[in-house]
Structure 1
């Protein structure tokens, strides 16, 4: 079984949380038993999370050798210039080494659901949206890449993993993917 879930902001990609006070987890969304997340999405990120009860499928979806592209819409602080986009496209040096090249382009603000809490708006600081497609998955990679080129991330939404998209799912909704 493969499930597409639109993970809301602030939800952990696990079914339990031992912290005090406990934070929201996947357990609160009525997901079928025996499924687990195929990959991760930080608690402060939103969007597509795939869940499965098939270990082989989970490995295929998450192992970088299978090169499943992951597509993100990223609201950044600042106005990206061509040099910043070129740096994202060629790979950015982070503290754990050079990233693989990414597809990066500026996009118009997408028609997304409102975030709760909303992103802080500042009149004097411009923001923009980027679409990034990565073929690796380091810890907080998108946020670290945009920060490294001078464009701090304000909002991060994963919209696709390979052919699977979050289209049509509101935050907290999920569906079984067939085929």
Structure 2
């Protein structure tokens, strides 16, 4: 999209990634990646440069060639239209306990089981839900599924600093020196969509030893408790590898105030008003 079009949208309209998130396509950061990858078209033209502004009432936005139905903001619609849209669209929040081997995506061309498959059909049938953040296929634990783009943005963007807690089983007996390096932080190299590489600092908010296992038959192991405020791709695995510890098992046990409770692997539960209010309060109190 040209600069003139982008500047024109700045005066009226919303950011493209926000409009996409509000339509239930993913968290804002996920939508930004879709845009930069060249998968999004506005009025028939591919957009890869941000910021880009759109008018949900008149612009046609498509993802991979499929037109997206964009919700119209309150200030762009008359009150009756807004009230009708509000009643028609209710936000849904589902907490799942992801088992190993299930991938964090909404669909997969290879037909592998994904996290949306864990949500009961009665809940996901009429809504476009998406996962908030990621857990790689070998990792297990808590993941939030929703259609609330704003809350997803707050739970994943670094400036809100929502903590995620993990239980990590590693090979070997972790030392205090290794833990100190993890707390101090390090730079991790990440490939960009255009083929270039960037480095970004990573540090654990907290890391402590829960238990060391001395086992001649199976090999020595260490169970760690790790807390992150910002997660890069496979950050825990990459950081531990840098200090000489290999991950054997990795489970997310908390997202902000949410914990699994009696939620078993593969199960899902619809969050009630109190749990959602706790999540929102966590984003407000993280400044």
What is the TM-score of this pair, normalised by structure 2? Answer: 0.55
Q: How does 1:49-88 map to 2 (within 5 A)?
A: 49-88=143-182
Secondary structure (helix, strand or coil) at the match of 1:60 reads helix
Give distance in 2, aligned partners of 1:7 and 1:84. Answer: 29
Gaps of at least 5 residues in structure 2 are 1-91, 190-198, 275-287
Distance 1:124 1:168 in 2: 30
Over 3 Å counting, the alpha-carbon distance change for 1:153 and 1:122 in structure 2 is: farther
The RMSD of aligned alpha carbons is 1.8
Describe the shift of the 1:62–1:126 C-alpha distance in structure 2 as closer, same or farther (beyond 3 A).
same
Match of 1:151 in 2: 245
Aligned to 1:98: 201
Between the aligned partners of 1:124 and 1:101, the Cα distance in structure 2 is 28
Specify which of 25, 41, 45 is matched with residue 114 of structure 2.
Answer: 25
Distance 1:26 1:97, change over 3 A: closer
- Match runs of 1:29-40 below 5 Å: 29-31=118-120, 32-33=123-124, 34=127, 35-40=129-134
Gaps of 5+ in 1: 110-120
Q: 2:139 aligned with 1:45, yes or no?
A: yes
**Normalised TM-score (structure 1):** 0.86
The question of whether the paired residues in 2 share the 8 Å contact of 1:90 and 1:102 is answered with no
Between Structure 1 and Structure 2, the one with more helix by share is 2
Q: Distance in 2 between matches of 1:174 and 1:167?
A: 12
Relative to structure 1, the CA distance from residue 100 to residue 43 in structure 2 (aligned partners, 3 Å threshold; closer, same or farther) is same
Aligned match of 1:162 in 252, 256, 262?
256
Q: Deviations over 1:152-174 (max 9, x none)?
A: 10110000111111221111111
How many residue pairs end up in the alignment? 166
Cα distance, 1:89 vs structure 2: 1.4
Choose between structure 1 and 2 for higher RCO, CA contacts under 8 A separated by at least 6 residues: 1
State the match for 1:10 in structure 2.
101
Q: Which has the larger radius of gyration?
A: 2
Work out whether residues 207 and 224 of structure 2, in 8 Å CA contact, stay in contact via their aligned partners in 1.
Answer: yes
